[in-house]
Chain A
Amino acid sequence: MNNIQYVAPQSIDEAVAAMAAANGTGRVLAGGTDLLIQMRAGVVSPGIIVDVKKIVEMTTIDETSGGYRIGAAVSGAVIGEHARLKKAWPGVVEAINLIGSKQIQGRASAGGNLCNASPAADSVPALVAAGAIVTVQGPKGRRDVPVEKIHAGPGRTTLQPGEIVVSFTLPARPAGSSDAYLRLIPRTEMDIAVVGCGVSLTIQNGTCTAARVGLGAVAPTVLLVEDAAKALAGSRLDDKALEAAAAACRAACKPINDKRGTIAYRTKIAGVLLKRAAGIAAERAGRK
């Protein structure tokens, strides 16, 4: 193993500068629950580690005119303790809180979960369903990107060299809205999603007026399933609409056979989870 440098800047500008100076050998460290393991396994060997946990903007949660801004490096445990956020976005929070165990929750961040770019990352389908906007800063300045545009493939993102994810913004939304995230794992914890499904919806007078669906672990990237959203929106979430949305989820799947599940199984479960997650989100949204 060669020598590794470590810096812990206080500001995003310094962090971006450190990344730029590293000439492609820099790695952002948030919780380290992916990075350190990959380093131990010899998968990555950074020249410099840029720890972002000292940067206030990246480690705090703010309310912004009805919405929320979540620093990319806020740990799952801190997010889980934010009562108002949890009430507004129970699906996003439960997805982040599903990551790992108590110990992992003390470290793991949504930013790390997104940037590690696993198709099975638990928080991402929920953030996709939530319509989260990602603020990114790099050598060329800041930009805002819909979260579903970040993943490029397993382990790959659309982030430009030296870019750092600063925060997630969850939009304000009308009363009667809620969300839910479900994943399937063979055990009850400490496992990787075979399928993950996030559903966010708004219900007014018993009718679903808006919906978004995110699906994880069924394709090289986390998917925004617009056809499933279309099947739900305008319906009263009756069996027929749910089945149409489940069918859209199944149709969107491009899974692989691997040690965690077969193509047939993943495809089937995508539909099962859609129905269940939509049901939970609808309950939370106050469906009568």
Chain B
Amino acid sequence: MSSQPYKWIGTRPNRPDGADKVTGRARFGADFNMPGQLIGKVLRSPHAHAVIRSIDTSAAEALPGVKAVVTAKDFPEQPNVIVPTGEMQVNLRDVTRNIMAREKALYEGHAVAAVAATTEAIAREALSLIRVEYEVLPHVIDVEEAMRDDAPVLHDHLRTEGVKPEPQKASNIAKRMENIKGDVAAGFKQAEIVIERSFTTQPVHQGYIEPHATLASAAEDGQVQIWSTTQGHFQVRGFCSRLLNIETSQIRVTPSEIGGGFGGKTVVYLEPVAVRLSQKTGKPVKMVMSREEVFRASGPAPGGSVKVKIGARRDGRIVAAECTIALQAGAFPGSPIGPACWTSFACYDIDNIQVIGYDVVSNRPKVAAYRAPGAPISAWGVESALDILAQELGMDPIDLRLKNAAKKGTKTSYGPTFDTIGFVETLEAAKNSAHYKSPVKPGYTRGVAAGFWFNVGADSSAAAHVAEDGTVTVISGNPDIGGSRASLALMAAEELGVDYEKVRPVIADTSSIGFNFVTGGSRVTFATGLAVVNAVKDMIRELKGRAAKTWGVDPEAVVWENGMARPAGSNVGEFDPLSLAQLAASAGKTGGPINGHAQLNVQGAGPGFGVHVVDLAVDRDTGIVTIDRYTAAQDVGTAIHPSYVEGQLQGGVVQGIGWALNEEYIYNSKGKLDNPGFLDYRMPVASDLPMIETILVEVANPSHPYGVRGVGEVPIVPPLATVGNAIARATGVRMTDLPMSPPKLSAALDAATPRMAAE
């Protein structure tokens, strides 16, 4: 635990938004309403791939109660430019086509038109009156199939970027990338043992409980207000501004409370459509997706394939590593192939690395970020291969990783050299854990894997205000998706030396605080936390100035300690300390309101590492896996509010276990999603899992005043291989395709043991 003598940091007070959330008072996306609002609904393509020949909206428009119908014609064409959103890059030309199909419908569920009507029933009926003439085309879903020469091509203009000479033919491979360190061919020559395997994963969804929802109101004078459930209201504003040619400052976006996002709410689907419908009708327009729409048309994570080759010496030292990763981007280019490649071997100090990545389009919804985008897929391959290596060498899997662990000074394959990181400490914490030291119960087996994520900094703004009674408001601009309000308030209380209860953190709309990048990349507690700390510092500077003025001394002669201004030394003079309340009471006489501000582009996000251990049992007859015990160790920098750090670890693990065992998009032969609901899209339920144990390894990030590292994404990286490694050790069968669902595992076990099949 941290040796810093903090008063507030590291404590576990109730979260400021907690009471509202447990009493139902909190307002989520669908809870916003305005007088006279219309209900907007989207017509979606029933085909996975089809040319849109024509759309006839006349019958729908004639239906009483229908106020407007929009199609792609209502949205201006966009240039071929890439803009960052969260951890993913998007192309405006593609975004406008994703929110409303133009030339083609590119996946089942692709929006082709939308209506606004006085009631939901009328809106639905209107959808059924829109006539769309489609020319159905052959489609492709699977990433390997989409890469084949004879695959149906989604975009005639798409040429593979990153290959020379520049290709002449259209392809579904949007991009080829590589990152290379050292010389792999030479490295493999030194190898005494080489492991080479291929792994695949199926597409999965973030599975946030709250469907996308928005309310938009465009006034006659051109001002637009939007309420939305989003991880980035500044991004909603930016997208609506670009996609609808509205000046940015004319748009004011207020984020609702958010029922999960995990990266999937860093992009827009409904907001530009609702604004356009509101502009056309002059009325507020509310749009809420059904669960089915969420599955069919919103940000899934890619499926992919990973080929791994690892060469090592008999003592376990890895001398060369190679991997080739292909990820489904969905209907438009832009899978998280970059992070998938860069993270693949980031845990390890290896001299010779070659990673090749392919970004591949296919007839699925355009992927959105999902916790550590791309990293779980490459880690599934790499960490499984390492487990095979450990087995073949007869080495403890943690010892193998310790032998090759990245440390301060290790140069990554993608460029940067690590500063202070905590992978070794995390491996040791896992090795010394009560779980790892306990004997494995009869009938159970143990698996281990590791994972890495960079974490992100980027743009944040914050403000702090002292109220008339000396209490404090801290204002920032990131939707609170995992307890960030509590963490920001704790840091502000620590910095200011006042009670946590005296600090009220609020999340401002886009017009009430400066720009903030999305809640994503595990950045809020780190980057926005830094902005808050700096805003408080700015406010303290002001407070010291007011004390100096009161005492008639230089501001430099005042120090701020434990929430009070004091003379810096006895030579300054004999003055009683001035409390925040006293300074607030006299503010009118010393210069007016006391506020602080900060804005920065935050660098120096500290990367994080996780090491996970599972004990599980496999029912050989049924292929059902039962998880008995699971421990996640992670270097978390400083755990500002340990409960919410633990919650992040536990949530990531649970999602990772779902990805490993049961979650998958199931497409039928026509490319239609067959399981667009939580019944057949099987995320774990509470009774499936034990309490996930956590070990917080606090290796402070040197680039943050309180040592904060992002913590929210790392924990979803190791579970896929952790579970797979345990299953392999339990059964002798190495699963290489996710999910390891009962039918699949059972078939693999039967194939390996003819006894069962012969029955």
A residues whose Cβ falls under 8 Å from a Cβ of B: 1, 184, 186-192, 194, 243, 246-247, 250, 258-262, 264-265, 268-269, 271-272
Contact = CB atoms under 8 A, between A and B. Distances in A.
Interface stretch (B50-58, B677-685, B726-734): B677-685
B747 A260 contact: no
Contacts of A258: 674
Contacts of A246: 759
B662 A187 contact: yes
Contacts of B666: 259
5 contacts: A186-B662, A187-B682, A188-B687, A189-B687, A261-B742
Chain B interface SS verdict (over half): loop
B440 interface: no
A192 B679 CA distance: 8
B602 interface: no
A1 B687 CA distance: 37
B747 A265 contact: yes
B680 A259 contact: yes
Q: In the complex, which of the residues A187, A246, A271 has the most CB atoms of chain B within 10 Å of its own CB atom?
A: A187
A272 B621 contact: yes
A159 to B, nearest CB: 26
Contact of B684 (A187, A243, A250, A259): A187
A149 to B, nearest CB: 29
A265 B759 contact: no
B622 interface: yes
Given A184-B742, A187-B685, A272-B621, A262 B747 contact: yes
A265 B742 contact: yes
Given A186-B682, A268-B746, 16 more contacts: A186-B662, A186-B741, A187-B662, A187-B682, A188-B688, A189-B687, A192-B679, A194-B743, A243-B759, A258-B674, A259-B675, A261-B743, A265-B747, A268-B750, A269-B622, A269-B746
B185 interface: no
A259 B674 contact: yes
B121 interface: yes
A14 to B, nearest CB: 31
A117 B542 CA distance: 73
Nearest to B661: A186
Which 4 pairs from chain A and chain B are nearest by CB? A265-B743, A188-B687, A272-B621, A259-B666
Interface in B615-632: 621-624
A184 B741 CA distance: 12
Contacts of A272: 621-622
A268 B674 CA distance: 24
Contacts of B679: 190-192
Nearest to A264: B747
B429 to A, nearest CB: 30
Contact of A189 (B623, B661, B685): B685
Interface string B389-432: 00000000000000000000000000000000000000000000
A149 B301 CA distance: 46
B469 to A, nearest CB: 46
Nearest to A261: B743
Contact of A191 (B682, B743, B746): B682
B756 interface: yes
Contacts of A187: 662, 682, 684-685, 687-688
Contacts of B746: 265, 268-269
Nearest to A265: B743
Interface string B740-752: 0111001100100
Nearest to B292: A41
Contact of B624 (A1, A186, A271): A186
Interface string B643-674: 00000000000000000011000100000001
A82 B622 CA distance: 32
Contacts of A186: 624, 661-662, 682, 741-742
Contacts of B687: 187-189
A189 B688 CA distance: 8
A259 B741 CA distance: 11
A16 to B, nearest CB: 32
B680 A268 contact: no
A64 B121 CA distance: 50
A254 B324 CA distance: 42
A180 B667 CA distance: 36
Nearest to A184: B622
Given A184-B624, A260-B680, A190 B685 contact: yes
A269 B688 CA distance: 20
Contacts of A271: 759
Contacts of A259: 666, 674-675, 680
Contacts of B623: 265
B680 to A, nearest CB: 5
Nearest to A1: B121
Contacts of A250: 759
A2 B742 CA distance: 43
Q: In the complex, which of the residues A188, A243, A258, A259 has the most CB atoms of chain B within 10 Å of its own CB atom?
A: A259
A234 B452 CA distance: 61
A258 B743 CA distance: 11
B279 to A, nearest CB: 29
Contacts of B680: 192, 259-260
Contacts of A192: 679-680
A258 B675 CA distance: 10
Contacts of A261: 742-743
Interface string B678-718: 01101011011000000000000000000000000000000
Contacts of A1: 121
Contacts of B661: 186
Q: In the complex, which of the residues B661, B674, B743 has the most CB atoms of chain A within 10 Å of its own CB atom?
A: B743
B592 to A, nearest CB: 56
B752 to A, nearest CB: 15
Nearest to A247: B759
A20 to B, nearest CB: 29
A264 B751 CA distance: 12
A154 to B, nearest CB: 16
Contacts of B662: 186-187
A268 B741 contact: no
Contacts of B759: 243, 246-247, 250, 268, 271
Contacts of B688: 187-188
Contact of A188 (B685, B742, B743): B685
A253 to B, nearest CB: 13
Nearest to B680: A259
A239 B254 CA distance: 67
B628 to A, nearest CB: 13
Nearest to A258: B674
A3 B743 CA distance: 44
B462 to A, nearest CB: 42
B415 to A, nearest CB: 42
B37 to A, nearest CB: 20
Q: In the complex, which of the residues B624, B666, B674 has the most CB atoms of chain A within 10 Å of its own CB atom?
A: B624
B694 to A, nearest CB: 22
A44 B624 CA distance: 35
Contacts of A260: 680
A176 B318 CA distance: 64
Nearest to B119: A1
B434 to A, nearest CB: 25
Interface string B341-366: 00000000000000000000000000
B756 A268 contact: yes
Interface in B558-598: none
Nearest to A188: B687
A76 to B, nearest CB: 17
B735 to A, nearest CB: 15
A184 B624 CA distance: 9
Contacts of A189: 685, 687
Nearest to B621: A272
A98 B662 CA distance: 20
Contacts of B674: 258-259
Nearest to A257: B743
A189 B759 CA distance: 29
Nearest to A192: B679
